[in-house]
Amino acid sequence: MDQAVGRTAIHTTTALCPQCLRELPAEVYEDENGAVWMERTCPEHGELATRMWPDADHYRWLRSEAFSKVAPENTIAPTAPCPYGCGTCSRHERRATLLEIEVTRNCNLHCPVCFASAVGGEDDPTMDEISTMYDVIANAVGTDGAVQITGGEPTCRKDLADIIRMGRDKGFWGIEVNTNGLVIAARDGYLEDLVAAGLTGVYLSFDGLTGDVYEATCGRDILDIKLRVIERCREAGIQVVLSVAVVAGSNDKQLGDLLRFSLENADVVAGLALQPAFTSGRFEAKRAMPMSAGDVIFQLAGQSDGLIEPYDIWPLGCSNPLCDTGVFLVHGEAPEGVKPHPSGFYPATRAMTVEEYHGGYSPDSPQGSVFLDILAARGVEVESGLSIIIMNYMDAVSMDTQRLRECSMMVTVPDGRAIPFCSYHLTDAAGTRVYPPWGKEELR
């Protein structure tokens, strides 16, 4: 037991001061209520403790299930302490499996919870710069890596189809567009043009099933637009992943409804991605006790009508086990020993051992397809199933720099660097970015 009353040390790490972003020694501990906290002291700005996880036993279990690390290739020498000097530098401990190309900072919405801080007016990267960013990805992980086209709002670019086509011409098999869906919903034939250019998936921001949620997260009710995008994806024969920014007090009570909606539309909805909102960019929610992926895991389980339990959700292996977790819900008759559920789905993790999971794992699988790839290799029908992933992004308040060094999600920039997602979007308490958009010293 730690000297502090009711406090049990779990491990040490390094964290940031949110004021000056100095990397500091930190202690992670369990409090008297079983929650996990991370505490550090900045010599200039004082002590700060951040609530990191709701259940210490669950936290310890996830950490114990970490996969072996596959180090990145073609790294650069460190030039500054974390989180500075990214590139990817030789301190980094895991290779990338999902890489982003930010094609614009412009957007046709002004969402309060957007980490992109898209304000408009900046020049977009040229096609030559985008070509270079594709080459960065090929150099980092080869053309087998998954590519996500993001922004801002990518559909603000008139040449989006050309950008997708360029990636396919360079040999990339998987290209997904991260979108709010406004343009897809509004223009007949637009999505079909993107699919013809080589688009393989739509990553749709989809924060809830009632209009008030969108009024809070997007500034206006656009639920009907979101539903129209899903129908357009169904008509075009392309899969969609629903990306949910989970905001405490706004949509965190709709996780079960979002799960059931995804299962009912599993013919076109391939995945449900749940992401606790964090404070980079314009998001200004109070952060005394930030929502963590652990909170989402327990709330999702509690709202799932018994379909999912917290320990059904396993680390995805590609990054630190506290950063990326998930489960695949198989549609069909439950195997012997697995209790059937009225929904007709069951968690794949109840039908395999941890040893089987580790044995079938491929380090080349992107986050969303880890279970799917294992199950497909075992002959399990996966086309009608649903992938659930829970991603625990970090900001200046919650940044554990050890976890940052295990990030597998990178943002590419034209000068040849691949920057970990959480450091690329990192801001200090005043909102100042560590890394300017596209790595440029100033916006053109």
Give tens-digit pLDDT for 207-237: 999 999 999 888 889 999 999 999 999 999 9
Position 288 pLDDT exceeds 80? no
Position 107 pLDDT exceeds 80? yes
For residues 12 and 277, which has the higher predicted lDDT (pLDDT)? 12
Work out the average pLDDT over 424-439.
89
Collapsing DSSP states into helix, strand and coil, what is residue 237? Answer: coil
What is the model's pLDDT at position 444? Answer: 30
Query: Using CA atoms, how far apart are residues 83 and 401, in angstroms rounded to an integer?
Result: 7
What is the model's pLDDT at position 365? Answer: 78
Q: What are 324's strand-pairing partners?
A: 391
What is the model's pLDDT at position 441? Answer: 63
What is the model's pLDDT at position 289? Answer: 67
Question: Which is nearest to 311 in space by CA: 65, 35, 58?
Answer: 58
pLDDT band at 134 (very low <50, low <70, confident <90, very high): very high
Q: H/E/C letters for each residue in 379-434?
A: CCCCCCCEEEEEECCCCCCCCEHHHHCCCCEEEECCCCCEEEHHHHCCECCCCCEC
pLDDT band at 282 (very low <50, low <70, confident <90, very high): very low
Over residues 29-82, the pLDDT tens digits come to 999 999 999 999 999 998 999 999 999 999 999 999 999 898 988 899 999 999
3, 224, 267 from 209: Cα distances, Å: 47, 10, 19
Work out the average pLDDT over 131-146.
86
What is the model's pLDDT at position 442? Answer: 39
What is the model's pLDDT at position 290? Answer: 78
pLDDT band at 102 (very low <50, low <70, confident <90, very high): very high
For 1-21, the DSSP string reads --SSTT-EEEEEEEEE-TTT-
Query: Using CA atoms, how far apart are residues 40 and 292, in angstroms rounded to an integer?
Result: 18
Lowest mean pLDDT among 126-130, 274-278, 325-329, 349-353: 274-278
Q: What is the mean pLDDT of the chain?
A: 90
CA dihedral angle for residue 132, residue 135, residue 140, residue 145, rounded to 10 degrees? 120
Work out the average pLDDT over 138-163.
90
